[in-house]
Copies of this chain bind each other. A is one copy, B any other.
Amino acid sequence: MPRKPRVRSGSGVTMHDVAKAAGVSAITVSRVLNQPQQVSEALREKVMQAVDALAYVPSRSASTLASARSRTVLVLIPSLANTVFLETLAGIETVLDAAGYQMLIGNSHYDAGQELQLLRAYLQHRPDGVLITGLSHAEPFERILCQHALPAVYMMDLADDGRCCVGFSQEEAGAAITRHLLSRGKRRIGFLGAQLDERVMKRLEGYRAALDAAGCRDAGLEWLDPQPSSMQMGADMLDAALAQRPDCDALFCCNDDLAIGALSRSQQLGLDVPERLAIAGFNDLQPSAWCTPTLTTVATPRRDIGVHAAQALLKLIDGEEPESRRADLGFQLMLRRSS
């Protein structure tokens, strides 16, 4: 008794069906689809006709299994709710798309443990490379990358240990915007921080360094909350800050959400911005140019970071060296009414 045939995936048309229809061998079909220049014009055409006629869709799983290349890249980001990472994704997408790669998006929710689990889970897909947000990760993270010989590019910040990275100095950016507030004559400059991820902490370091240099650092002017940031939280933090330190004359908020919340609240309170209180944000999101008063902030090249990081990763995957293993894309102060 013959055994029951297995179910087939997809519409059931395989490369062999195409080959039979075109009167060639399977490998020829494979070559027409993957290295067309290796096949003569005549056969190429015949095969393509058969592909169209049968509506053949090749199976990525079979291809990955046979070739040990998945043409897939894993992208690890901390949040899908933050425009910053979405614009980075958009940049990555354009490059990968053009190269025939697909991206797997792993959202770690700002949690190093979850990030590690994501990496493990997505390794099942045998990605050819990984794009990673941030430099510091849970313990066995780097070791796993190493074991699997996975090319990796780190995004958003700059590493000093030889890891391939594309970004800008979060610390320098934090220092720069703080110096701007100093240049406006402010001396009791506060810091509002939420989420408290790696990048926020570095901006905080930059803020501290700038104030130390100016001799007016005051630890009592830092307000930090590990919760995710939101406009509501910015408003609440402003209330708390003014209650504790009514002498505060400027605020550097670790991102624009917080800053817009604080700005909005100070408008409600009738505070004179920027005279009584200057406010600066970080990232230059769309609403920052539109709120009243318009928000001073730091524009970050997140889309370009995505593009450059993806390009560098593709080079690494192909065994080449990227143009630079440490690409500093800089940042730009956007000086507006709120300061």
Report A99 CB to chain B, min CB distance, Å: 13
Question: Does chain B have a CB within 8 A of A28?
Answer: no
This chain: copies in complex: 2
CB pair A68 B287 closer than 8 Å: no
A87 to B81, CA, bound (A): 7
| A40 touches B (CB below 8 Å) | no
Asked if B125 and A60 make an inter-chain contact with CB atoms under 8 angstroms apart, the answer reads yes
- 8 A Cβ contacts from A295-310 to B: none
Point out the residue from B104, B120, B286 that lies within 8 Å of A57, measured CB to CB: B120
Q: Are the C-beta atoms of B10 and A126 separated by less than 8 Å?
A: yes
In contact, B90 and A80 (Cβ under 8 angstroms):
yes
Q: Is the CB of B10 within 8 A of A123?
A: yes
Counting chain B CB atoms within 10 Å of each CB, the highest count among A83, A122, A124, A289 belongs to A124
Q: Is B8 in contact with A68, judged by CB distance below 8 angstroms?
A: yes
Residues of chain B with a CB closer than 8 A to A93's CB: 80, 107
| A to B CB contacts below 8 Å, 16 in the list | A9-B68, A9-B126, A11-B149, A57-B120, A57-B123, A59-B65, A60-B61, A61-B62, A81-B86, A102-B104, A102-B121, A105-B105, A230-B286, A260-B287, A264-B290, A287-B287
